[in-house]
Amino acid sequence: MGGSPYASSIGRLKSDFPTFLGKEIFTQLRRAKGIDEILTLLEPTAYGPHLNAARATVQGVALLEIALNRALVHRNHMAWTATPFAGRNGVQEYLRRWDLRNIELILTAKIDARPLTEVEAHLVSARGLPAGILGGTLTLDDLRLLMEQPTVEAIAQSLVKFGYGPTLMPLVEQFARSRDVFPLHLALEQEYYRRCADAARFFQGDEWIVRQFLASEIDARNALLLLKGKALDLPTDRIFGHWVEGGTLGRAVAEDLLTTGSVPALAERLATQYPSLPTFAELYRTTESLTVFEGAIRRDRARGELQRLRSYPLSIGVIFTYIYLAELEWNDLRQIGFAQVYGIPDERLDPLLVLPSL
């Protein structure tokens, strides 16, 4: 163990792995009668300090959202600082996903003319903490400056100094004509995965672990895209206009999958990679909601990835196990909170959750 640079990473993160929530607390959270009860249940957990830090200024679901975001940022920072030098650039590039999420929220809010205060609670950022690799690379002050920009074009120009401008600027003229923000989002996403793949070349012999992890995320995204395209009966060229390269699911195979006659039949064919998909076909027929398939894909991917990452503890795998668990827990808790706000019943919520079923 002493010969691996990740031995110290295991030591630094080992004490924090038990702070992830167990199935029992998830059961209690799903039975909670309102947001206030959810907040009370989270008080004794790792989310307690983050709830207390924000309680003076916000309440209800906004308090939950901010506390979840702060906890995620804290865990991301712990993972990054525990990463040996050789792996830090790769982890940093992966964590830029939160920059992308924040930028996309701001772009969409600008187009919809939503107020800054409404958007800010949803941003994953290091409120009140020093600048650094804490969520992504954009600090809360940076994000606020972006939100204050008068136009999408001005936001793109402001992002030049953070490395995102060159991706967005060539699309600004097209956006001015179409007012369609999706090409901007897609360009950022494609550039993100390209940069992650480039960074994954420089680990110490364990880069393949990260490459497979990223490829499985792209596959999950593209599989859901195929299901959405089939559900909406979109032409093939339009579906592939949203495609992201870099996964193991190639276009030729995807084109063949799209010849399938229905969404449940497509789910059946995708079961070679996502074995639980067919079990939700009947629920899809009842609800006509693709979220049941989205949850199944996320769960199947999580089950496979966590098993693989944990099989290589003396590697970058230990860092990505920790980061991935933090991300999955963040998403599950947000789903539970939103289910309270929008009155989503358990039979619709449960298929969306990942960790309680692992």
Provide the residue type at 327 as one letter. E
DSSP 248: S
- Which is higher by pLDDT, 117 or 89? 89
Average pLDDT over residues 260-266: 94
132: pLDDT confidence band, cut at 50, 70 and 90?
very low
Domain 1-84+315-358 listed as CATH 1.10.132.50 = yes
In order of 31, 61, 181, 330, the CA distances from 66 in angstroms are 22, 9, 26, 11
Rg, the chain, Cα only:
20
Per-residue pLDDT averaged across 273-286, rounded? 92
DSSP codes, 307-328? HHHHT--SSTHHHHHHHHHHHH
Assess contact for 228 and 338: CB atoms under 8 A. no
Q: How confident is the model at residue 251 (pLDDT cuts 50, 70, 90)?
A: very high
**Residues 327-357: tens digit of each pLDDT:** 999 999 999 999 999 999 888 899 899 999 8
For residue 47, name the pLDDT band (cuts at 50, 70, 90).
very high
Please state, in angstroms and rounded to a whole number, the distance separating the CA atoms of residues 239 and 226. Answer: 7
- What phi-psi label fits residue 124: left (phi over 0), alpha (psi between -120 and 50 degrees) or beta? beta
Q: What is the mean pLDDT of the chain?
A: 90
Give Cα 175 distance to the centre of its chain: 25
Confidence (pLDDT) at 346: 87
130 DSSP 8-state letter: P
Question: How confident is the model at residue 3, as a pLDDT?
Answer: 61
The predicted-structure confidence for 53-104, as pLDDT tens digits, reads as follows: 999 989 999 999 999 999 999 999 999 989 988 888 889 999 999 989 999 9
Q: How far apart (Å, rounded) are the C-alpha atoms in residues 162 and 156? A: 10
- By the 8 A CB rule, do 67 and 75 touch? no
Q: How far apart are CA 333 and CA 29, in angstroms?
A: 9
Which tokens belong to 11?
A: 């030591």
Q: Which amino acid is at 111?
A: I
pLDDT at position 163: 87
pLDDT score of 126: 57
Assigned superfamily of 88-203: V-type ATP synthase subunit C domain (1.20.1690.10)
Tens of pLDDT, residue by residue over 10-41, are 888 988 999 999 999 999 999 999 999 999 99
Helix (H) or strand (E) holding 77: helix 60-82
What is the rounded CA–CA span in Å between residue 12 and residue 135? 19
Tens digit of each residue's pLDDT (9 = 90 or more) over 190-238:
999 999 999 887 666 778 899 999 999 999 999 999 999 999 999 999 9
Statement: residue 258 has pLDDT above 80: yes
- The CATH class of 207-311 is mainly alpha
The pLDDT assigned to 298 comes to 97
CA dist 196 and 214 (Å) reads: 8
Residue ranges covered by each domain of the chain: 1-84+315-358, 88-203, 207-311
Predicted local confidence at residue 85, as pLDDT: 84
Q: Characterise 205 by phi-psi region: left (phi > 0), alpha (psi -120 to 50), beta (else).
A: left
Is residue 35 within 8 Å of residue 60, measured between CB atoms? yes
User: Is 152 within 8 Å of 175 (Cβ atoms)?
Assistant: yes
Backbone angles phi, psi at 303, to 5 degrees: -60, -45
pLDDT at 248 over 80: yes
Q: Which residue has the tokens 């395209």?
A: 229
pLDDT digits (tens, 9 = 90+) for 148-189: 999 889 999 999 888 888 899 999 999 989 989 899 999 999
Residue 219 and residue 248 in contact, taking contact as beta carbons nearer than 8 Å: yes
Quote the pLDDT of residue 131: 37
- Give the residue among 290, 320, 287, 285 at the shortest CA–CA distance from 305: 320
Count of positions (residues) in the chain: 358
Predicted local distance difference test score (pLDDT) of residue 117? 74
Contacts of 327 (CB under 8 A, 6+ apart): 72
DSSP result, 16-65: TGGGS--HHHHHHHHH-SSHHHHHHHHTTSTTHHHHHHHTTT--HHHHHH
Q: Where is pLDDT greater, at 132 or 47?
A: 47
The pLDDT value recorded for residue 204 is 67
Provide the pLDDT for residue 144.
86
How do residues 236-246 score in pLDDT, each as one tens digit? 999 999 999 99
Q: Is the pLDDT of residue 1 over 50?
A: no
| The one-letter amino acid at 36 | D
- Do 1-84+315-358 and 207-311 come out as alike in CATH topology? no
Burial (0-12, 13-18, 19+ Cβ within 10 Å), 332: buried
